Amino acid sequence: MLQYLYFFERLLFILTLLFTIYMIYYIFFLPFAFRKKNCYKSHSPKCRFAVLVAARNEQAVIGNLVESLLAQNYPKELYDVFVIPNNCTDQTELVAKNAGAKIITCNRPVSTKGEVLEQVVEKLLKQNKYDAMCVFDADNVVDPGFLCAMNNAWCEGAKAAQGFRDSKNPKDTYISSSYSIYYWMVNRFYSHARSSAGLSAIVNGSGFMADLSLLKSMGGWKTKTMTEDIEFTTKCILSNIPVAWVPEALTYDEQPLTFSQSWRQRSRWSTGIYQCLHYYSGALIKGMFTNGFNNMRMRLDQLIFLLAPILQLVWVLTVLLGHVVRTLGMHYHLSVGTPIFSDLTFSIIISFILSCVTCVIVMILEHKQVFSMKVGILSYWFFIISWLPINAICLFFRTKEWKSISHTRSVRVSELK
C-alpha cells in the first residue's frame, strides 16, 4: 500500500510541475500584451490582392460581406473579390454574383475550407496575376481600411499576416458573448503579445493575408487537418516565416448562438490541433536548434500551443489526483504541490475570479463596453471550462466531418461602426 501512496504522491508532483511550467510560460508573455503596437508605415497601394470567400449556404449574409469588400479604400484595379460556393443548396452563388463578386467553382469535390482553398490557390498560381490573397468567412463584414493595412504590412515584407477579428453579435446570447471575449483574448494576449515579443502571431481562420510566392514555395495551399488556419501558421513557422500581426485590418465575425453549435465547432478545433500535433511536432522539434535563436523560439512557442489541450487535461488529472491524495490522508510537502492546482474548490474559485478579471482587462484594453457585456464576463469561465471535456473526448474520438454553422446576422459594416 505504501508504494502506491508514494507513486500517487510523486505523480501529483510531476503533473503539478508540468502545469506550473506551462502557466509560468504564458504569464511571461503578459507584459508584452500591454505594449503599444508599432504600426506599419503607410505605403502607396502596390499589392495585387485576390480576396477569397469560401461559402456554403450563406445567402443570408454573403451580400453584405461582398458589399463591404467592394467598398474598400483601395484601388479597384488592384484587387478582385472571389466567392467560391461549395456544397450549396441555396442561392449563395446568385446573391454573391448580384452583389458584384466573381465566382470560382471547384473542379473536385470538397468537404472542408482547406480543400476549397487548395483548388483556388492552384488556379491563382497558374494565373500569376496577384501578389497575395486575403481570406474571409462568408458571415464576415470587413472594415474599409482592411486592404490598405495589409498592403502596408506586405510592403514592409510580411509574407503572412492576421488582422483583428472582432464580433458582429457580441450581445446576442451568452455563447456569442463568450466567443467575442475569447477572440479579444486571442487578439490581445496571443497575437499582440507574441508579435510584441518578436514571435509569430497566429492565423485565426478569417481576415488573414498570405503571400502567393510563399504559397508557391510550399507547393500551394496544402493542408490536411480540420484546422487549416493553425496548420498554415505551423507551416509558416517551419519555413521561418512569422505571421505578422496587423490589428488595423479589422474584420467583424458572426459568433455561434447556442452551446450545441459551439460544442460542434470547438470539437473540430480540438481535433485539428491534435492533428497538427501529430503531423508537425516532430518537424518543429527536429529543426529547433539548427535555424537560429528566433526560429527556435517560434518553434517552441508553437509546439507549446499545440500541446495546450493535453496540458489542460493535465490540470484536470492534477485536481483529481489531489483529491485522491487527500482522501487517503497523505501529507505531501513538495514545492509545487499547492492547492491552487490540486484542490477542486480552491481551483474553481480562483480560476473564476481570474477569468472575470481578465475579461474586464481585455475589454478595457480593446475599448469595449464592460457593463454591457456582464453576461459574457460571468459566463466566460464556463465557456472555457467546457472545453476540457471537448479536449478529453477529441483525444480519443476525433471529429471527422466539417459541419457548417448557419449564419443569419445580416448587418452592414456601417451599422457596426
d(CA 303, CA 56): 32
d(CA 370, CA 383): 18
DSSP 171: T
- In this predicted structure, the answer to whether residue 335 has a pLDDT above a threshold of 60 is no
pLDDT band at 377 (very low <50, low <70, confident <90, very high): very high
Structural domains of the chain sorted by starting position, each given as residue range(s) with its CATH number in brackets: 2-31+285-396 (no CATH), 48-275 (3.90.550.10)
Residue 238, C-alpha cell as written in the block: 517551419
What is the number of alpha carbons within 13 Å of residue 170 lying toward its C-beta? Answer: 21
Find the mean pLDDT for residues 138-151.
96
Find the mean pLDDT for residues 86-109.
91
- In this predicted structure, the answer to whether residue 333 has a pLDDT above a threshold of 60 is no
- At 18 the pLDDT is 81
- In this predicted structure, the answer to whether residue 417 has a pLDDT above a threshold of 90 is no
Indicate if the alpha-carbon torsion angle 121, 123, 126, 128 is positive or negative. negative
Contact 364, 374 (CB under 8 A): no
- In this predicted structure, the answer to whether residue 199 has a pLDDT above a threshold of 50 is yes
**SS3 annotation, 311-330:** HHHHHHHHHHHHHHHHHCCC
What is the number of alpha carbons within 13 Å of residue 271 lying toward its C-beta? Answer: 19
- In this predicted structure, the answer to whether residue 242 has a pLDDT above a threshold of 60 is yes
d(CA 212, CA 329): 62
Contact 325, 8 (CB under 8 A): yes
Q: Which of 66, 55, 206, 207 is nearest to 120 (CA)?
A: 55
DSSP 386: T
- In this predicted structure, the answer to whether residue 407 has a pLDDT above a threshold of 80 is no
Per residue in 165-180, pLDDT tens?
999 999 999 999 999 9
Q: What percent of the chain has pLDDT over 90?
A: 70
d(CA 116, CA 124): 13
Strand segments, DSSP code E, in 59-183 are 79-85, 102-103, 132-137, 141-142, 160-167
Contact 355, 384 (CB under 8 A): yes
- Look at 91-105, 219-233, 276-290, 334-348 and tell me which has the smallest mean pLDDT: 334-348
Residue linked to cell 451599422: 415
d(CA 70, CA 53): 13
Cα distances (Å, whole numbers) of residue 260 to 113, 127, 155, 264:
21, 42, 42, 6
Beta bridge partners of 164: 250
pTM score: 0.91
- At 174 the pLDDT is 95
pLDDT band at 232 (very low <50, low <70, confident <90, very high): very high
- In this predicted structure, the answer to whether residue 341 has a pLDDT above a threshold of 60 is no
Per residue in 112-139, pLDDT tens?
899 999 999 999 999 989 999 999 999 9
Strand segments, DSSP code E, in 64-185 are 79-85, 102-103, 132-137, 141-142, 160-167
Q: What is the DSSP pairing of strand 49-55 with strand 79-85?
A: parallel
CB-based contacts of 355, cutoff 8 Å, min separation 6? 380, 381, 384
DSSP 330: -
pLDDT band at 205 (very low <50, low <70, confident <90, very high): confident
- In this predicted structure, the answer to whether residue 401 has a pLDDT above a threshold of 50 is yes
- In this predicted structure, the answer to whether residue 208 has a pLDDT above a threshold of 60 is yes
Residue linked to cell 497601394: 45
- At 329 the pLDDT is 60
Contact 341, 325 (CB under 8 A): no
Find the mean pLDDT for residues 13-42.
87
pLDDT band at 347 (very low <50, low <70, confident <90, very high): confident
- Look at 49-58, 216-225, 284-293, 323-332 and tell me which has the smallest mean pLDDT: 323-332
